Structure 1
Amino acid sequence: MGCKFTRQEVLDRLNKKRAEKKPIIIGAGGVGLIAKAADKAGIDIIMSYCTGPVRMNGNAGQLGYMQYVDCNGVSLEMGNKIIDRVSDTPMVAGIGAGDPYRDIDRLIDELTGIGYSGITNVPTLGGHSGALRKSMEREGIGFNGEVKLIRKCHDKNIFTIAYAFDEEQVKSMVQAGTDIICPHVGVTRDKAFKFNVLTVEKAAEKINRLYDVAVKENPDVIVACHGGPFADPESVQKGFRLTKADAFVGASTVERIPTEEAIYEVVQEFRSLTLGK
């Protein structure tokens, strides 16, 4: 069933939506069932990376950024399991650019060879700061390696989505040729856990600031919103009204949160049933 798309084919689809003033919706697919449902619903792009199956196994998605997970091995494994469940949606794989045990050029070819239509920089180290960030960059395993990853893919004419956290990172990723730049505004709000997240208004201010940086480098780049307060269709709609973004990227928002809420509600309904005798 899986269908691989060229970079131009993906861009043609996305630019058609932009011309029609319709939002581009991108979501994570950590397991085949989620990817299959999202594909059937008409999502524009499905992304598969290490945090997905970690989340869908009931763990914190942040574990996908830690040493417990072979992030690039997971992307390969997910591709073999999920791509054939999807019939008409481009699939984008996450690559951990600092992997010391894999040749990144070969990994890019492997992932596109099994049917992925694009690459993204997940897990990303862009959210780190201070001494840790400086140390990572000094050792060649920091965000600059992710910029090189996106540039490699662009040079191979592979579609790319790049996460970035600040003006400098956005500028670097757009200069590297990313097709979609996704300003990350923090951990996604969750009803069950009271994370301190930005308000939609504050998140929109940051996205608009980073949008201006992005389009100054490339007027055609697609800018997405992701994370923080953008946790459901209502908040994302408000975000679209307050920002100049063309797209939304949902990870927990598309796969974990809707699944948790739907299962909770149906179990509660079953528990409220009464016996006939």
Structure 2
Amino acid sequence: MNVKEHVLKRLEEQLQLHGHLIGVAAGSGMTAKYAEIGGADFILALSSGRFRQMGVSSLGGFLAYDNSNDLVMSYASKELIPIVNNIPVIFGLQATDPTIELAEKLNEIERAGFAGINNFPSVGLIDGQFREALEENGMSYALEVDAIAMANKRGLFTVAFVFNAEQAEQMMEAGAAVICVHLGLTVGGSLGAKKILSLQHAKNLAMEIFERCEQFNRPVIHMIYGGPVNKPIDVQFMYDGTSIMGYIGGSSIERIPTEQTVTQITKSFKKSDDFHYDELIEKIIDGMGSQRDYIEFVKKYIHLHYMDQIQLRDIAKILSLSSSYLSTLFKSEVGMAFTQYLIEFRLNRAVDILKKQSLPLTNVAEMVGYPNYAQFSVIFKKHRGVSPKEFIESNINKR
């Protein structure tokens, strides 16, 4: 059994046990160590992760501040390989580097103990005239595809970042074990990218790409990375109704929590009369202040209270905002109206229950916030195309 087969076997077991996979792009041994303890399924060693640990933007990995491949080899071979014991570490390979000979670089990566490669930094994150100039000089995405193909033939585990359906098709042909839709730089925190791709837009893009992958009729792991997805509840939204099997976190797991926690804890020590540590941690988790914080609060509120009666005006009162302002803000940030988001969330929970448990339909309706079964049935059929009863019957026939 080669490295790729061994890793795939383990990931398939984790999918059966937990339903989804988690990868972590770690820029330090500390992140990797605690990510493994927390249940991460694999670690990505990326130059941008190292720049995050320096306190600068992930974009540092795309500029000539350091040689990306040398930087990854330097820190990952010293901090990640010796620290991570039971899960694979994947090397972020910049295949467009004109100073390397690809076969020899893969030999070096194998000798150092890495289980495989990921195409990063990727020219897929670059557009405009600079992208055209790179392509004209041979530094193209095609080199990244070649690297994945060569690593796959060697029996290495491969994680392919793709940015559109055409690239996904190329990486499928190259034999990538994981197709990961890269949704752009992670939004959030003081160093986050400013351009926001709505969750609904991100979900549509991922579904389009994975539909193209399914045409190849071979098993492949579907994952997502970056963009507007930076909270567990965002990941759940992306999972619902899609074939997405996992999430890879970089800034969302490593940078943003560190920014928030270190800042707030330092402030608490600065205040000599602040001894409410538990309350402080709660504020860190729920911390509000920016427009994005308000939206996170609304989504979290829905997650906790979807089985109860929920009115946007009540949430607006909690936040001391007008309901019209909060409604406009929510639609702008999330890509759908509050009511639509709430309905989708409730129906996805109902589908989960109907698939796993045999309960009276009136009880299921009440469990997801619809005490009136007739209303639940009408909404379910409108959005799912069948009644709850018909859904159960079709699900039984598939077993």
Give me the TM-score of the superposition, normalised by structure 1: 0.92
For 1:254-265, what aligned pairs fall within 5 Å after superposition?
A: 254-265=253-264
The CA RMSD measured in Å over matched residues stands at: 1.9
Aligned to 2:158: 160
For 1:1-277, what aligned pairs fall within 5 Å after superposition?
A: 6-20=3-17, 22-82=19-79, 83-192=81-190, 195-274=194-273
Q: Is the 8 A contact 1:50 1:71 kept in 2?
A: yes
**Worse-superposed segment, 118-127 or 251-260:** 251-260
Shift of 1:196: 2.4
Letter in 2 for 1:68: Y
CA–CA separation in structure 2 for the residues paired with 1:81 and 1:61: 21
CA deviation map 1:20-75 (0-9, x unaligned) = 45210001110111111111222100000111111110111111111222001012
CA deviation map 1:192-248 (0-9, x unaligned) = 357221221111111001010112124311111111111121211221114320010
Q: Classify the secondary structure of the residue corresponding to 1:26.
A: strand
Q: Is the 8 A contact 1:165 1:183 kept in 2?
A: yes
CA–CA separation in structure 1 for the residues paired with 2:198 and 2:205: 11
CA deviation map 1:121-173 (0-9, x unaligned) = 00100123344334323322110000000000011010000101111111101
Q: Classify the secondary structure of the residue corresponding to 1:47.
A: strand
CA–CA separation in structure 1 for the residues paired with 2:217 and 2:42: 22
Q: Is the 8 A contact 1:92 1:119 kept in 2?
A: yes
Q: Classify the secondary structure of the residue corresponding to 1:76.
A: helix
Q: Is the 8 A contact 2:47 2:71 kept in 1?
A: yes
Q: Is the 8 A contact 1:32 1:85 kept in 2?
A: yes
**Worse-superposed segment, 200-209 or 257-266:** 257-266
More helix by share: 2
Aligned to 2:279: none
Shift of 1:268: 2.6
CA–CA separation in structure 2 for the residues paired with 1:65 and 1:218: 34
Q: Classify the secondary structure of the residue corresponding to 2:253.
A: coil
CA–CA separation in structure 1 for the residues paired with 2:78 and 2:16: 34
Q: Any unmatched runs of 5+ in structure 2?
A: 275-399
Q: Classify the secondary structure of the residue corresponding to 1:85.
A: coil
CA–CA separation in structure 2 for the residues paired with 1:170 and 1:136: 20
Shift of 1:272: 3.2
Letter in 2 for 1:137: E
Q: Is the 8 A contact 1:25 1:43 kept in 2?
A: yes
**Worse-superposed segment, 65-74 or 127-136:** 127-136
Q: Classify the secondary structure of the residue corresponding to 2:31.
A: helix
Q: Is the 8 A contact 2:185 2:193 kept in 1?
A: no
What is the aligned-residue identity percentage? 28
Q: Classify the secondary structure of the residue corresponding to 2:251.
A: coil
CA–CA separation in structure 2 for the residues paired with 1:58 and 1:194: 14
Q: Any unmatched runs of 5+ in structure 1?
A: none
Q: Classify the secondary structure of the residue corresponding to 1:126.
A: helix
Q: Is the 8 A contact 1:167 1:210 kept in 2?
A: yes
Larger RCO of the pair (alpha carbons < 8 Å, separation 6+): 1
Letter in 1 for 2:98: P
Q: Is the 8 A contact 1:94 1:120 kept in 2?
A: yes
CA–CA separation in structure 1 for the residues paired with 2:256 and 2:217: 34
When the two structures are aligned, how many residues end up with a matched partner?
272
Letter in 2 for 1:163: F
Letter in 2 for 1:129: D
Q: Is the 8 A contact 1:150 1:176 kept in 2?
A: yes
